[in-house]
Amino acid sequence: MLRIIDIHPHIISPDTSRYPITPLGGKRSKWSEERPCDFPGLVAEMDAAGIEKAAIVHSSTTYGYNAAYVADAIDAHRDRFAGVYAIDVREPDAPDQIRHWSVARGLHGLRLFAAGSTVKADQSWIAHAATHRAWACAQDLDAPVALSIRQDAIPYLIDIMTRFPKVRIIVDHLMLSPIEDGPPYAASAPLFGLADFPQVHMKLTTNNVRRANDGAATAESFFGKLVAAFGSDHIAWGSNFPNEQGTLKQQVDEAKSALAFLPLTDQANIFWNTAAALYPSLADGAAKKFAGGLQ
């Protein structure tokens, strides 16, 4: 039976006084209003889906750069949860902010939101000189950095990886690279080119699973090429729940079905081992049981 770590769920608190809505760019994501899920709700969904552990990703499109809800939620449940925060890496105090969330609040990784449903702008800022101190700090702390970017940001990402070769990179949603052309997936050649950088890890999410058969693409040909290029030990699964519609169990079942053609060793890497390597706090010991809710 596959053990599962989800490295991309989100949580939204109903308490807007304690956790004010301050979305990045001033525009809140629709999903966070239409189908919010708080921490106890996520626990219930995980239990129903058979997910042992999770690295909860702070919702920048709800809370901007304030990751307090994620930090508060996981504080008493660190046997089962890690947390990923967001800051403005261009700010002069960015290294202090990284140390605050990584050390003082005990979160486990940084996320840069440069492209997404509410953000469509120049992505070159991820490599601006003003960000270098933040990248250096992330490298020193061995804090993995997840990026929500698209393929046109790859030159800037390569610039950063060349300067900071020990920073572990996680590419969210496989950059939503175009795959409708089908094998050999020439439109996604820039994405596959990142396999030359061993510090890069691919985050395969529900969005990718649900697009895997678009046009001339198939799940087997696309995900098979992804594993061949990067190695399953550099690929991890994340749900993007509740951004993506459907229950968490439904999303797990869809991912298992899409990846069932792979050898079990590769499936184990994608659903557990890669995540445990990226977020070591999730690697050791059995997950605590949350029967009937939080304990």
pLDDT digit string, tens, across residues 89-123: 999 999 999 999 999 999 999 999 877 555 556 88
In angstroms, the CA 279 to CA 120 distance is 29
CA distance 290 to 295: 6
CB atoms within 10 A of CB 25: 14
User: Is beta strand 81-85 parallel, antiparallel or unpaired with respect to 109-113?
Assistant: parallel
Strands, DSSP E only, in the chain? 5-6, 53-57, 81-85, 109-113, 115-116, 119-120, 145-148, 169-171, 200-205, 235-238
Please answer whether residues 24 and 63 qualify as being in contact, where contact means their C-beta atoms are separated by less than 8 angstroms: no
Minimal CA–CA distance to 51: which of 277, 238, 232, 281?
Answer: 238
| Cis status of the peptide bond prior to 184, with omega within 30 of 0 | yes
Assign domain 5-282 to its CATH superfamily: Metal-dependent hydrolases (3.20.20.140)
Helix axes of 154-163 and 132-141: crossing angle, nearest 10 degrees: 60
Res. 53: pLDDT tops 50: yes
Helical segments of 164-243, H only: 189-193, 206-211, 219-230
pLDDT tens, position by position, 248-287: 999 999 999 999 999 999 999 999 999 999 999 999 653 4
Q: How far is CA 53 from CA 5, 13, 42, 231, 281, in A?
A: 5, 20, 11, 22, 10
Contact between 270 and 259 (Cβ < 8 Å):
yes
Work out the angle at residue 88's Cα, subtended by the Cα atoms of residues 86 and 94, and round it to the nearest 5 degrees. 100
Please give the single-letter amino acid code of residue 237: W
The order of strands in the sheet holding 53-57 is 5-6, 53-57, 81-85, 109-113, 145-148, 169-171, 200-205, 235-238
pTM exceeding the 0.85 threshold for the entire prediction: yes
Across the chain, mean pLDDT equals 93
Length of the chain: 295
Relative to beta strand 200-205, strand 169-171 is: parallel
How much is the pLDDT for 289? 35
| pLDDT the model gives residue 287 | 40
- Tell me the per-residue pLDDT of 177-232, one tens digit each, with 9 for 90 and over: 999 999 999 999 999 999 999 999 999 999 999 999 999 999 999 999 999 999 99
Residue 63, both tokens: 């809370």
Dihedral (Cα; 81, 82, 86, 89), 10-degree rounding: 180
